[in-house]
Amino acid sequence: MSTSDDWYRRYEANQKVPSLPVDDYGFDQALSELRAAVGEIAPDAVAAIPAVLRILRHRRSMAAQVLDKREPTCLGCGADRKCVGCDDIRPTAEKLYAGWRFVSPLDRWETVERVEQANEYAPVRVWTDKTGPAYSWLIPRWQKVDAVAPPPRTLHGTPEIRVFEHGYARDAPMYAIPTLDTVYRPDTSDHLVEARYSRERGWAVTHRPNGGDSVTVWCESKAKARTALRSAAREHAKALGVKVVVQPTSAVTS
């Protein structure tokens, strides 16, 4: 709800908008052409042109203030809050579901475990991992909240690191890929370890131990590169707490 201070602030902002220029020849010529064009279509609207231009300039000034975050310019922000603009894409409380994480009234991240709403106009009751089953937050359904939805999970299975080797050629690349045991052909773009062949230097086995700087080991043969790749895969698997699985080459030959 807007207060008298809000309207007074808007009045002051409007007074700060500079008047239309009177000594600018280019502007005067453009304004004259605009009046002539409008006069042919709607003669009664010619007198409103200066007012329309003033409003447009006012809106541009207000938009600049929103972008600069200097003062509130919309009714939703109020006089004592920093404006977040009119493109606030945060979800409302009625959008919360189990698995979402949001900033609770205690200003901390909490994971939603259960949500109830008596009807479409009622406030939302939210149980989280912090409140437990004996307590819940009561949030107006229209209130914007800082929240993050859980990632969609369309696949189910046990995580693993799979050693994946193309079989279409002897110099085809080899990978160690984080995936699920239910995935037949994993995405090689998400590899942890990669082995590639070059005629100049042989096989290069590249990975990032512990997620740090990239390390490359050069090998003379594919067999040695395969051994180095599997050794690096075991290092990653140990750090991540999963197992290494070698996918047979014949299963991926194209």
Listed range (100-104, 142-146, 163-167, 184-188) with the worst mean pLDDT: 184-188
Q: State residue 229 phi and psi, 5-degree precision.
A: -65, -45
Identify the pLDDT of residue 89: 74
In the predicted structure, residue 204 carries a pLDDT above the cut 70: yes
Most confidently modeled of 22-26, 30-34, 178-182? 178-182
CB atoms within 10 A of CB 89: 6
In the predicted structure, residue 215 carries a pLDDT above the cut 80: yes
Question: In degrees, to the nearest 5, what angle opens at C-alpha 68 toward C-alphas 66 and 71?
Answer: 55
Mean pLDDT, to the nearest integer, of 100-128? 92
Identify the pLDDT of residue 3: 55
| CA dihedral of 103, 108, 110, 114, whole degrees rounded to 10 | -60
How far apart CA 92 and CA 103 sit, in angstroms, is: 12
CB atoms within 10 A of CB 216: 11
Domain ranges of the chain: 4-68, 93-148, 159-252
CB atoms within 10 A of CB 192: 20
In the predicted structure, residue 33 carries a pLDDT above the cut 60: yes
